[in-house]
Amino acid sequence: MKPVLLWSDILLFLLVFISIGAAWWARRNPQLCAAWRQVGASRIGVAAATILVFFVVVALLDSVHYRERLAGKAGESQQYSVEVVSVLDAVLHTQKTRTEKTYSAPLAMHLFAKESLTDSAGKSVGRDFPRLKFGGQHLSNEDEWAGDVAKHIVIGLLGALLLGSALVFSLRRIVLACAPWFAWQAAAITLAGMFAVGGVIVALAPYYHVFGTDKVGQDVLYLTLKSIRTGLLLGTLTTLVMLPAALLFGILAGYKSGWIDDVIQYVYTVLNSIPDVLLIAASMLMMQVVIDTHPDWFATAAERSDARLLSLCLIMGITSWTGLCRLLRAETLKLRELEFVQAAQAFGVSSWAIMARHILPNVMHIVMITLVMNFSSLVLAEAVLSYIGIGVDPATISFGTMINTARMELAREPMVWWSLVAAFCFMFVLVLAANLFADTVRDAFDPRGRVS
Amino acid sequence: MSLLSVKDLSVQIGAGKPVDAVSFEIKPGQTFALLGESGCGKSMTALAIMRLLPPAARVQGGLVDYAKQNLLDLPEVEMRRVRGGGIGMIFQEPATSLNPVMTIGQQIGEVLALHCGLRNGSARQRALELLESVGLPDAERRLDEYPFQLSGGMKQRAMIAMALAGDPELLIADEPTTALDVTIQAQVLDLLKKLQQERGMGILLITHDLGVVERMADHVGVMYAGQLIEVAPRDQFFANPAHPYSQKLFASLPERAGRGQRLETIPGMVPPLDTQHTGCRFTPRCASAMSHCKTIEPAWYSIHGKQQVRCHLFDPQQVGMNTVIKAAPPKPAAEIARVQTNTLLQVCDLKVHFPIQKGLLQRTVGHVRAVDGVSFALPAGRTLALVGESGCGKTTVGKAILQLLQPSSGSVQLAGQELTGLSAHALRPLRAQAQMVFQDPFSSLNPRMRVGAIIAEGMQALGQKLSKQDVEARIAELLGQVGLRADMATRYPHEFSGGQRQRIAIARALAVNPKLLICDEPTSALDVSVQAQIVNLLHDLQDKLGLAYLFITHNMAVVDYLADDVAVMYKGKIVEHGSADDVLSRPQNAYTQELLAAAFTRMRGAAA
Amino acid sequence: MLTYLIRRFLYAIPILIGVNLITFALFFVVNTPDDMARMQLGTKRVTPDAIAKWKAERGYDKPLLWNAQAQGSAKLSDTIFYDKSVSMFAFDFGRADDGRDISTEIRSRMGPSLAIAIPVFILGLWVAISFALLLVFFRGTYLDLTGVVVCVAMMSISSLFYIIGGQWLVSKVWHLVPISGLGPGLDAGRFLILPVVIAVVSGIGGSARWYRTIFLEECNRDYVRTARAKGLSELTVLFRHVLKNAMIPILTGVVVVIPGLFLGSLLIESFFGIPGLGSYTIDAISAQDFAVVRAMVFIGSVLYIIGLWLTDISYTLVDPRIRLS
């Protein structure tokens, strides 16, 4: 095994470390603690966070990449597969490798399309739906299907019940001991739901394609889980790009009026005036040219699609920093007139120190709120951009590319609906959880938002 | 026959009771004043009567009897007829209480259409009459103007006209003059008085200002922590305030007679809303508290017939206790001979002009002369009061002296060194000598910094090389000097009350051992009793450290108490300058006279 | 007042120059015309001749900024920068890869775009504001809570699903209206209903929630208390006082997009096969037709700047504080 560090992996883990560091630092500040405690005490917030944690874990598992060692003969030099795989791929090995020929419905035993069948002697026996290579293969008698599915569902639910209740009770013990304000019931109920669904899927997955297969026979469950990383990455790494620019320019423009303000305002008005989609489209087209004309820069296909993903983050960061920048500028203008800033000026504290010590901490709630609110819109944007063809590399599995291929299938009669529904459900749950979490965070951090 | 009678009115917010069993009545043509410091439930009482409480608050019980019906039981439709019709209301902030995008005429017309059925021409005619009756100059034009085009006093007049439009029998005035300048305050109060006489209207006046009460009220109710604690006819109340809290309110007013003495203060502050009370609520702050005050809630006791007070001191069963105990007379402060010393601050012809830019190319077409040629000198260890109304440029002077604003011309010399035109770097060592205390204790402390860090910032910025222990020791010393505990250094500002915050702000300024402290309205955002604490503190610090104060204020009473010299500012210029005695007793300038008249007619009663 | 508007109008010039420079840098500096030719022609046929021919056909064979060989002013004007960027100010966008004139194409496609965008804009605004007012009127009740939850849920659905779901439901299941295309004249209405409804529905969640926040913020202000103290009914307070004040922040977000309506809706148009500017842009993107994308970028920013200017004007109409000072 040879570990592969993609740039997006590095940045994602960097972001995780930054978040942990920020949390550690915030621990000492009673106001931030109080705000986060309010989030923790909110049932909706905790339920949403529990779901988000699941998505983050999947994305992180999908961000540890390596190349497998090829089974070579002894004495030969080590050979590695050109295919870069992740830990998630290893976990989902069965789903990844057991591809069918083409479409099959969820939990089906047969292909979706009729084919000319031949018997063992090679003689044609007419057209029918052939049995799948993997789905339901363990059943010799097709009549057993319903009973078998029911059996696995029951097994899954029982397993989930056992494991889930163990987890919930230990969680409750820990929570009641160290954080009694935590809305642990909400977490427990959410976990119960997730375990029930997860248990059924885990129990069925080894024997069936739970969400069916797509046109080239890939397992839709596998595709959906792989899509999570792309969406999450885009939602978070874009932040990493835009945050420094927005903070620096927003506060600088607000605090130092005059020509600095004029220049910064000019830059963001120019950037703002180009419709986002067009700017992204133009930039992505140009990036694609760069990537295509320099094939020698990338060792593997994964690195190439990673470069495209990163450039998408970069470009979306460039188009989205202006919004936060404007908010920060306006807030800094207000703060600048407050008396504690003037008190610092009266001591001759330097401008940079005032901006860092007095302005920055007092705009952090805006940053916090904007970041969580942006996340969901970025995930949604990814799907649209990839659908249009200016998003991630078509080879990268993402919600957008899934929808793009699934959309073609709608025209078929009878309809192939499952990949679309699977993508819809996962995306909806992810974005809804993010939106609800963002709402809770805003309520906790925004002093104005509180309705008395 | 009373116009409005409130019985046992209680309001609840969460676990707290901002209004607790309040009862009083108002007769037609009379004014009942609810007096008290902020947070004692006066405004909540008024809003409860109008049934306009914020969503979190609800009426818990009681009776509001108006026109033979209980307002609290009235269906909402009927209640709307009472609001604006039977009972009119005016609010504290005329600037935010008028709809910014509707003309004055439209806003008055709304009431006329609703309660008098007047529309179009007749409504306009009536609105015009109303505006004229409240003495709004140029009333015809004002009808079509928007609130932002009117000055503060004019807005409040328009507000009054609006409240009168429904021809109410009762007017609720919630701090009607607090947001206005002194001279305007007097005019608005006179207007209310005149309108009351013309219309025979009852007024429920809500205020924290004894002067306003003295001028307006027939009856006074003193509120403390949600309860009425004393109810009396005005003259009796002013002649002989009974409740210890009422007495302290009088004593903590700075006044001429008490010059050089410490002000009486009420220790502590109004208890927070969610306090669970047992016994008398004033006990923790009361100088005459007895052992059972803490446990037994006092009943109402009558003294001198109509004066009623809720205090155990007046319980006839308490033998020998049914007399008013006068608090111990205030200790005279140590008189320190203030020797005339060298001039510390010399300001010469200081001008601060802000350009007005107009036209396509934003050319400067003129200047707002915020400060227009101000000169004065301040000797070390003395206090100069810079007096004037809002917008006269007095704060701008303070900021220009500290070079927080770039003066347009003129010179500022601090201990012989010219400050204007210095670079930020050259200015830094001089900054230790002059510091500022700001008006609003809530915005003058960074909410994200600990108190210790706030105080230490100046020391570090001015490059004092101190070890960590030294800094901590110095912070502890400074906190002690301003009357706070050393362990408060690790807390955040939001845990402190307004008065405590102002003490922290003073400690921050003192940290760099300044010789000059510019105090910009340091007490105007504080309650009377807390104001006295801060004024005393400033007085003590001057004696101890030999500080010179440039005291920027509009509050004549404080000036009188603290200042050695007074400079009166009007429209960017100093119109009168001299020793405090001369300026206050023998004002020469017409504006000064007006200012003093407005301030001291109000103080007369209070000083009684 | 007038000078203010003129000054704001003049402000557009440096911004358009900025946009122009960015697009120029993006299209001609990040990648040379050679790169683009190689990309367009594919790897097989890349010969220097083919590249030269491709560039000559499109006028990319000139120097970027300075033509040393030309005479006089042509040293400046006979360049890619002058041909491709400066000429955009005269709304001359050259030809698309398929040889058609971009300006004519844009003019003919504006109509269908507007036919969708204008109804969507007006209906969307009306529905969202009404819904928000309803929620604010019942604030603090379960109706309000449910409404907010519905808004958040609606916001969490990708617009792609609205379109796909709507198309499937209405056209395939209920067979009510044609699934895509655009008929001539009045018949167009039949084709337009579905895209308009879908676009409106997909936008409600986000905007209604945003308006609700604005209304609630206004409801907490002092003048609302004054209005209630006058005895006005809650409905009058909401419509006469709150709505009027809330229009000021709402205008900032809304007016600026009006000119952008010309650009049409990218997704709706391409899904429903409507020959507007949105689908034109999408087609150009997938065909990698740089000239068209460049033209749309420029037009988009011109429209945005007009939007900013309209915002200024509408402010002065709504807010007396700006109109009269």
Identify the band that residue B106 occupies on the pLDDT scale cut at 50, 70 and 90: very high
- The reported pLDDT for the residue numbered A176 is 83
Using CA atoms, how far apart are residues C271 and C290, in angstroms rounded to an integer?
A: 22
The predicted pLDDT at position C184 comes to 65
User: What whole-number distance in Å separates Cα of residue A110 and Cα of residue A128?
Assistant: 9
pLDDT at B441 over 70: yes
Which residues in chain B are closer than 8 Å to C318, comparing Cβ atoms? Answer: 101
B592-603 pLDDT per residue, tens: 888 888 776 554
What distance separates the 2 farthest-apart alpha carbons in chain B? 83
Phi-psi group of B192: left, alpha or beta (phi > 0 → left; psi -120 to 50 → alpha; rest → beta): alpha
Angle (nearest 5°) at CA B380 between B374 and B384: 45
Angle formed by the axes of helices C142-155 and C102-137, nearest 10°: 160
- Model confidence at A109, pLDDT cuts 50, 70, 90, reads confident
Q: What is the DSSP secondary structure assignment for residue B19, as one 8-state letter?
A: E
Q: Find out whether B503 and B483 touch, Cβ atoms under 8 Å.
A: yes
Residue pair B308/B301 in contact (Cβ under 8 Å)? The answer is yes
**What is the pLDDT at residue B329?**
47
Q: What percent of chain A has pLDDT over 70?
A: 97
At B79 the pLDDT is 93
Per-residue tokens: A420: 């679309």
CB B530 within 8 A of CB B441: no
For chain C, give the number of residues. 325
Question: What is the C-alpha separation between B408 and B354, in angstroms, rounded?
Answer: 9
Out of A342, A347, A362, name the one closest to residue B447 (CB).
A362
| DSSP secondary structure code for residue A104 in this structure | B
Residues lower than pLDDT 70 in chain C:
1, 39-40, 42-45, 75-76, 176-187, 264, 325
* pLDDT of the residue at A186: 87
Q: Tell me how far the alpha carbon of residue C322 is from its chain's centroid.
A: 27
How would you classify the pairing of strands B417-418 and B363-379? unpaired
CA atoms within 13 A on the CB side of A420: 20
State the amino acid at position B424 in one-letter form: A
ipTM of the complex: 0.83
pLDDT of residue C108: 87
The 10s digit of each residue's pLDDT in B518-541 is 999 888 888 877 888 888 899 889
For residue B82, give the chain C residue with the closest CA. C231
Say if the Cβ atoms of C245 and B359 lie within 8 Å. no
CB contact under 8 A, B457 and A31: no
- Count of CB atoms situated within 10 Å of the CB of C197: 17
What mean pLDDT comes out for the span B240-245? Answer: 90
The reported pLDDT for the residue numbered C291 is 83
- Chain CA centroid to CA B319, Å: 40
- Residues of chain C contacting residue B159, judged by C-beta atoms under 8 Å apart: 226
Q: Is B126 helix (H, G, I), strand (E, B) or coil?
A: helix
Per-residue model confidence as pLDDT tens digits over B244-294: 999 888 887 766 555 666 777 777 777 877 778 888 888 888 888 888 888
More confident residue, C59 or B502: B502
Sign of CA dihedral A301, A303, A307, A308: positive
Q: How confident is the model at residue B337 (pLDDT cuts 50, 70, 90)?
A: very low
Instruction: Using CB atoms, list chains with 3+ pairs below 8 Å to chain C.
Output: A, B
The predicted structure's pLDDT at residue B334: 45
B343/B340 Cα distance (integer angstroms): 9
Q: Is the pLDDT of residue A174 over 80?
A: yes
Q: Are C64 and C30 in contact (CB under 8 A)?
A: no
Q: How many other CB atoms are found less than 10 A from the CB of residue A360?
A: 17
Cβ distance of A357 and B449 shorter than 8 Å: yes
- Regarding pTM above 0.95, the answer is no
B113-129 confidence digits (pLDDT tens)? 999 888 888 999 999 99
Span A378-402, pLDDT tens digits: 999 888 888 888 888 888 888 888 8
What DSSP string describes C252-318? Answer: HHHHTTTGGGGG--HHHHHHHT--SHHHHHHHHHHTT-HHHHHHHHHHHHHHHHHHHHHHHHHHHHH
The token duo for A251 is 């506060």
Distance of alpha carbon C240 from alpha carbon C230, whole angstroms? 13
- The better pLDDT of the pair A51, A112 is held by A51
At B71 the pLDDT is: 92
Integer Cα distance of B406 and A206 in angstroms = 76
C-alpha B272 chain-centroid distance:
19
HEC secondary structure over A276-331: HHHHHHHHHHHHHHHHHHCHHHCCCHHHHHHHHHHHHHHHHHHHHHHHHHHHHHHH
pLDDT band per the 50, 70, 90 thresholds, residue B99: very high
User: Minimal Cα–Cα distance from A411 to chain B, Å?
Assistant: 54
| Chains contacting A (3 or more CB pairs within 8 Å) | B, C
Answer whether the bond into residue A414 is a cis peptide, omega within 30°. yes
Tell me the residues of chain C between 186 and 225 that have a Cβ less than 8 Å away from chain A.
213, 216-217, 220
| pLDDT score of B322 more than 50 | no
Neighbours of A356 (CB within 10 A): 12
Instruction: Give B74 or B265, the one with higher predicted confidence.
Output: B74
Asked if C107 has any chain B CB less than 8 Å from its own CB, the reply is no
By the CB < 8 Å criterion, does A257 face chain B?
A: no
- Residue B96 to residue C221, Cβ atoms within 8 A: yes
Touching check for B458 and chain A: CB below 8 Å?
A: yes
How much is the mean pLDDT over chain B?
A: 86
Strand pairing class (B16-26; B4-13): antiparallel
Q: Where are the beta strands (DSSP E) in B434-510?
A: 434-437
CB-facing half-sphere around the CA of A78: CA atoms within 13 A? 6
DSSP H helices in B57-181 = 76-82, 94-97, 104-111, 120-133, 139-142, 152-164
Of all helices (H) and strands (E), which one includes residue B207?
strand B202-207
Specify the pLDDT at position C181.
67
Q: Residue B79 is encoded by which pair of tokens?
A: 């209640």
Distances (CA, A) of B417 to B427, B428, B436, C295: 10, 13, 18, 63
Asked if A240 and A320 touch (Cβ cutoff 8 Å), the reply is: no
Higher pLDDT, B362 or C100: C100
- Say if CB B315 and CB B301 are below 8 A apart: yes
- Across the range A45-67, mean pLDDT stands at 90
- pLDDT higher than 80, residue B410: yes
Reported confidence tier of residue B323, pLDDT bands at 50, 70, 90: very low
Measured in degrees and rounded to the nearest 5, phi and psi for residue A208 equal: -135, 165
Q: How confident is the model at residue A448 (pLDDT cuts 50, 70, 90)?
A: low
d(CA A425, CA A194): 13
Chain A residues touching residue B457 (CB < 8 angstroms): 344, 347, 349, 357
Which of C227, C233, C318 is closest, CB to CB, to B99?
A: C227
- The alpha-carbon gap from C245 to the nearest alpha carbon of chain A, in Å, equals 18
Average pLDDT, chain A: 85
CB C218 within 8 A of CB C267: no
Per residue, what are the HEC states of B532-580? HHHHHHHHHHHHHHCCEEEEEECCHHHHHHHCCEEEEEECCEEEEEEEH
Asked whether B51 and B84 are in contact (CB, 8 A), the reply is: no
d(CA A38, CA A42): 6
- Kindly state whether C308 is in contact with chain B, defined as any CB-CB distance less than 8 angstroms: no
- If we measure between CA atoms, which residue out of A43, A377, A451, A430 comes closest to residue C135? A451
Q: Per-residue pLDDT tens for B19-72? A: 999 999 999 999 999 998 887 889 999 999 999 998 888 899 999 999 889 999
Contact call for B99 and C3, based on CB within 8 A: no
Q: Is B384 helix (H, G, I), strand (E, B) or coil?
A: strand
Mean pLDDT of A121-134: 74
With contacts defined as CB-CB under 8 Å, which chain B residues touch C314? none
pLDDT of residue A452: 34
State residue B376's pLDDT score: 92
Across C86-110, b (16+ Cβ under 10 Å) vs e yields bebeeeebbbbeeeeebbebbeebb
| Residue A171: Cβ-neighbour burial (10 angstroms; 0-12, 13-18, 19+) | middle
